[in-house]
Structure 1
Amino acid sequence: MKLIDFTQVENIFIVCGKTDMRRQIDGLAATITEEYDMDVYNDALFLFCGGNKDRFKALYWEGDGFLLLHKRLENGKLNWPRNQNEVQKLTTQQLRWLLEGLSINPKISIKPAIKGSIA
């Protein structure tokens, strides 16, 4: 058995909205295949969050079985997107931001300097 190195996973997907956190491996895998018509056996990590936004689950196929991770935060909440019935592909950077409590779509960006202006 190996633990997941998120930087080496080909695809990272976040299931937006609320997921029933009582669901286990079979229920979460069924959500991916039936509701979103995606392949759970592809090299992909799927992330799910409940209503409280203080815990999440991650589902990953390791080649010989599923790995189900469940994390509950003691302090703070996740900045989980609530667009129901949507799955978004994340970069490893966006995953880091999410797990640090930041938005996966930051609104602040560095603007290029205007030509001829002094910095």
Structure 2
Amino acid sequence: MLVNWHDPAHIYLVCGKTDMRKGIDGLAMVIAENYGLELYSNSLFLFCGGRNDRFKGLFWDGEGFIMLYKRFENGHLSWPRNSNEAK
């Protein structure tokens, strides 16, 4: 399996809590239904759950979706819970 990773043109933070049990299809549905953004563009979508020590990313590489998962062993993120906090 080869990964066609390149720098995304856009990075979107999905504010608030996302159900981290969701896989590729569930996260793609969140983007399509709630934000109306193009999933197949050169964009990285980032999601965080209720715990600020882990997050997921979704990226289309031209052939399929790549789902990233990061868990901090020490520390956590300051994740915006709404669009006002993100600005």
Say yes or no: TM over 0.5: yes
Aligned twin of 1:2:
3
Question: 2:15 and 2:4 mapped to 1: Cα distance?
Answer: 24
Partner of 2:21: 22
- Name structure 1 gaps, 5 residues minimum: 87-103, 106-119
**CA distances 1:31-75 after superposition (whole Å, capped 9, x unpaired):** 000111111101000000000111000000011100001111100
Measure the CA separation in 2 of the matches of 1:3 and 1:65: 9
Please name the residue that 1:52 is paired with.
51
Distance 2:40 2:5 in 1: 15
Q: Secondary structure at the match of 2:36?
A: coil
Give the C-alpha shift of residue 4 in structure 1: 3.3
Q: CA separation in 2, counterparts of 1:73 and 1:4?
A: 22
Give unpaired runs (5+ residues) of structure 2.
none
Residue 64 of structure 2 is matched in structure 1 by: 65
Residue identity opposite 2:3 in structure 1 = K
Paired with 1:11 and 1:54, the residues of 2 have a C-alpha distance of 23
**TM-score between both structures, scaled by the size of structure 2:** 0.89
User: Which structure exhibits the higher relative contact order, with contacts defined as CA atoms closer than 8 Å and separated by 6 or more residues?
Assistant: 2
TM-score, with structure 1 as normaliser: 0.66
Structure having the higher Rg = 1
Q: Percent identity?
A: 54
**Number of matched pairs:** 86
Q: Which residue of 2 aligns with 1:92?
A: none
Q: Which amino acid aligns with 1:10?
A: A
